[in-house]
Amino acid sequence: MIIRKVSLETVCGITSRLPENTLPEIAFAGKSNVGKSSLINGLMNRKSLARTSAQPGKTQTINFYNVNDAFYLVDLPGYGYARVSEEVKAKWGKMVERYLKQSRQLRAVFLLIDIRHEPSANDRQMYDWILSQGYHPIIIATKLDKLNRSQVPAAVKRVREGLKAEKGTVVLPFSALTKQGREEIYEVIEKLTAQE
């Protein structure tokens, strides 16, 4: 996949109306410090398209990036660590739920999990919740460069088992540093968006 152009087209807050896009949408969800912004920047070949932050929980909106006028990459708010009130977290949850229910163009949800650790209770909850909305999450196991090659198969297995992932769930290890795994993610996105 060659990224010719990408732009942040729509930003939806808690009270915003969701856009009625006509292009396919691919959404990305993950815990606040799992490397979602780094992944998006890596996939889009941009240094600071999605803002990375030392302070987790930076994304508090649903951000729609138009890629090549071919599809939308949708960045969902991070969950877990963000230092926000329970009330605000509940509103984010409602906003994401509304998006998953209402989007006519959503093709898939990628769920990011840190490959170094067993999935947290929050991760498992998010996985089950995406399933309950009718989507089969595709797992991206981030921070691949932090492991030796020999550790990867066991780490992937731990992610799979920790999520109690459905049989056949795709797990794609990825490193934002080395871009390892990027081509595999592109392939999945191309399949998902080529069905138009």
The whole-angstrom distance between residue 46's C-alpha and the CA centroid of its chain comes to 17
- Contact call for residues 44 and 8 (beta carbons, < 8 A): no
Q: Where do we find the tokens 């994304």?
A: 59
Q: DSSP character for 147?
A: S
In this predicted structure, what is the pLDDT of residue 192? Answer: 93
At residue 183, the pLDDT reads 96
How would residue 45 be classed by pLDDT, with cut points 50, 70 and 90?
Answer: confident
Question: What global pTM score does this model have?
Answer: 0.90
How many angstroms separate the CA atoms of 133 and 153, rounded?
29
The phi and psi torsions of 187 (rounded to 5 degrees) equal -60, -45
Q: Residue 58 and residue 61: Cα distance in Å, rounded?
A: 9
Query: Three-class SS of residue 54?
Result: coil
Q: How far apart are CA 18 and CA 72, in angstroms?
A: 13
Q: What is the pLDDT of residues 70-83, one digit of tens each?
A: 999 999 988 765 56
- Residue 3: is its pLDDT beyond 60? yes
Q: 60-107: per-residue pLDDT in tens?
A: 789 999 999 999 999 998 876 556 667 766 777 788 888 998 999 999
Q: Give 146-195 pLDDT, tens digit per residue.
A: 999 999 999 999 999 999 999 999 999 999 999 999 999 999 999 999 86
Question: How far is residue 53's CA from residue 59's CA, in Å, rounded to a whole number?
Answer: 9
Q: Is the distance from CB of 29 to CB of 40 less than 8 angstroms? A: no
Average pLDDT over residues 25-33: 91
| Among 103, 116, 107, 157, CA closest to 31 | 116
**Which spans in 10-151 are helix H?**
36-43, 86-102, 121-132
